[in-house]
Amino acid sequence: MSNILKLLISAGLALGAAQAAKPAPVPAPKPQAIPFKFEPVNYATLAEYERKRCDGLVEEYRIIEKRKQLGGGREWEVEKMLAKQKKIDGDYDRYCLKGRQPIDPATVTATPPAQAGAK
């Protein structure tokens, strides 16, 4: 055989080996049905959870105020209480006041308008 023919045959064998080394294409996965596990939103339950959260924040705030009035405590305890009170203020503003109109201090009266005339 001629050198050119040997070269072509060896190149063809090398090319065939390279093609054989390529992995076969992976078929696309079949789509799977996702089970419906989401329930309709129960807004009454969500409102109850929000009310409980806000009540808890108010209670924590009261406890901190009471401890501050009693005085005493170490310096680092007071700092920790003030930091927690600041966090509670932020959480209350974020979760409990959303969607509510801010109260204008000029419109607040000592007695409710319905009871003002009844004495």
pLDDT tens for 79-93 read: 999 999 999 999 998
Query: Could you give the CA distance from residue 57 to residue 88 in angstroms, rounded to a whole number?
Result: 6
User: Is the confidence at residue 56, as pLDDT, over 70?
Assistant: yes
Report DSSP state, residue 71.
-
Mean pLDDT of 87-109: 77
Cα separation of 47 and 40, whole Å?
15
